[in-house]
Structure 1
Amino acid sequence: MLVFNLRAIMKTRQIERPYTFLVKAGISPHSANDLLNGHIRTFRLDHIEKICELLYCEPNDLLAYKPNSTQKLANDHPLNKLVPKNEEFDWQQTLKTLPLEQLKEVAKLINQSKENKE
């Protein structure tokens, strides 16, 4: 089953109040609640576009695939790319504890990545 992966993205982007964030972005309170709690079965493309703009992501980032016990997909099926990896990674804490030289290297890599996009 495809589900929305909004909470993980909001956490990564350090958005402390996801519901308020979505409502301020123009999504109705009811839809915001459904999106955050995974109760949504249909979605509006304008919502997807708005969320992607605000979170600087693409639609694939918003979706996760959670197979149930009756679904058997081939290992090479494209939906398997959307299965969440249970990796809790606290990048903020990692950056805080990196030695200064390593932190400079990370900044250099990020800057190079930005330049390559331009």
Structure 2
Amino acid sequence: MAMIRILLSTRLGERRWTQADLARATGIRPNTVGELYHELAERINLEHIDLICEALGCEISDLLTREPNSEPRVRSRTGAPIHNKK
């Protein structure tokens, strides 16, 4: 199964920031920062990502990455699985 990874814990560790530091710097609720930090968030507010990138001086690609699916989840109009070329 594919997974969107949130690399916030890595970025904060590199800067030696706590979750509380990020919440104060961005105005994002501490609970929301915690969900992102622990990769529990099911949805991500784009404004939050922008604020985090600004605060940490990074790009979106430094915060989010995608691990490919082991099996296709998307189907063509005929119902056959779509296999992405590598």
TM-score, normalised to structure 1, is: 0.54
Say whether the 8 Å CA contact 2:22–2:55 is kept in structure 1: no
Q: Equivalents in 2 of 1:22, 1:74: separation in Å?
A: 39
* Structure 1: segments with no counterpart, 5+ residues: 76-118
RCO comparison, higher one (Cα < 8 Å, 6+): 2
Match of 1:63 in 2: 64
Match of 1:8 in 2: 10
Cα RMSD (Å): 1.8
Q: Equivalents in 1 of 2:36, 2:58: separation in Å?
A: 16
Q: Equivalents in 2 of 1:73, 1:22: separation in Å?
A: 37
Q: Deviations over 1:50-91 (max 9, x none)?
A: 10111001111110222343257533xxxxxxxxxxxxxxxx
Q: Does 1:74 align with 2:75?
A: no
Q: Equivalents in 2 of 1:74, 1:35: separation in Å?
A: 31
Match of 1:24 in 2: 24
Deviation at residue 5 of structure 1 after TM alignment? 0.7
Identity across aligned pairs (percent)? 33
Larger strand proportion, structure 1 or 2? 2
Q: Which runs of 4+ in 1 moved over 6 A?
A: none
TM-score, normalised to structure 2, is: 0.71
What is the aligned length? 73
Larger helix proportion, structure 1 or 2? 1
* Structure 2: segments with no counterpart, 5+ residues: 73-82
Q: Equivalents in 2 of 1:73, 1:20: separation in Å?
A: 40
Q: Does 1:49 align with 2:50?
A: yes
Q: Equivalents in 2 of 1:22, 1:68: separation in Å?
A: 31
Aligned in 2, Cα 1:22/1:11: closer, same or farther, shift over 3 Å? same
